Amino acid sequence: MRGVILAGGKGTRLYPLTKSLNKHLLPVGPEPMIYNPIHNMQASGIKDILIVTSTEHMGDMVNLLGSGSDFGLRFAYKVQDEASGIADALRLAREFAGDENILVILGDNVFEKPVDYFVKNYESVQKRKGARVLLVRVSDPQRFGVAALDEQKVVEIQEKPENPKSDYAVVGAYIYDRRVFDVIDHIKPSARGEYEITSVNNRYIELGELEYDFVQGRWMDTGTFESYYVANKIMYEHYFEKMGIEKID
């Protein structure tokens, strides 16, 4: 399995912090935000990672991360020229993925605990076929892709619905087999003109090949100042505990 981290976008909801700096390079706890998905992939046994970012931020990204040797990993990079949706960014990973399955993590999603269980379940339960998503209960499902569940099945995913059918958000971590790129080739832009990852996931639902896990530990989407603050607070608490530093109120 190979890893893909999507780290584009302008992060406009975090202006002025992101006016001259890629959102994924902002600190979360004692490390840059993008270290969290890197550590998650490392914990899942992944050695080769593609990082997709925008033209204006590629230099900063490479300066920070380099070849991946500091992590004992191998990094490759791709530029997404225009922000045309998550699925469009993922399309750029076709050559990198080759015949391998891929773990995709959005670079602004912060996980309190490693997601290695997610990869293990895909490999053991699904036998490395189809797609798998991570779900978490949220208080504001209108901000996310929302999964409608029927017993143990995901029957539909709605993209940022006004009237959500559940409070289970699909978080920014996905596993796909190599057919995902053919699926992306056949989806159409949404009403907002983007190639949505929800469309990809719904196609796997139609095929009867999408399964899910619930997030273990806390998950933070750092797209707002409130969630960015919470992510920093949680990750610093873990750091202080690890270093034996007394908690700061």
Taking only the tens place, the pLDDT of each residue in 120-146 is 999 998 888 899 999 999 999 998 999
pTM for the complete prediction? 0.95
Pick the CATH number of 2-243 from 3.40.1280.10, 2.30.140.10, 3.90.550.10, 3.90.380.10: 3.90.550.10
- Predicted confidence (pLDDT) at residue 249 exceeds the cutoff of 70: no
- Predicted confidence (pLDDT) at residue 61 exceeds the cutoff of 90: yes
Which SS3 state, helix, strand or coil, does residue 187 take? coil
Map out the domains of the chain as residue ranges.
2-243
According to DSSP H, which parts of 113-217 are helical?
Answer: 116-125, 180-186, 197-206
Cα–Cα distance, 237 to 72 (Å, whole number) = 26
Cα–Cα distance, 118 to 134 (Å, whole number) = 8
Band of the pLDDT at 248, cuts 50, 70, 90? low
Q: Pairing relation of β-strands 74-79 and 31-32? A: unpaired
Find tokens 């406009």 and name the residue: 12
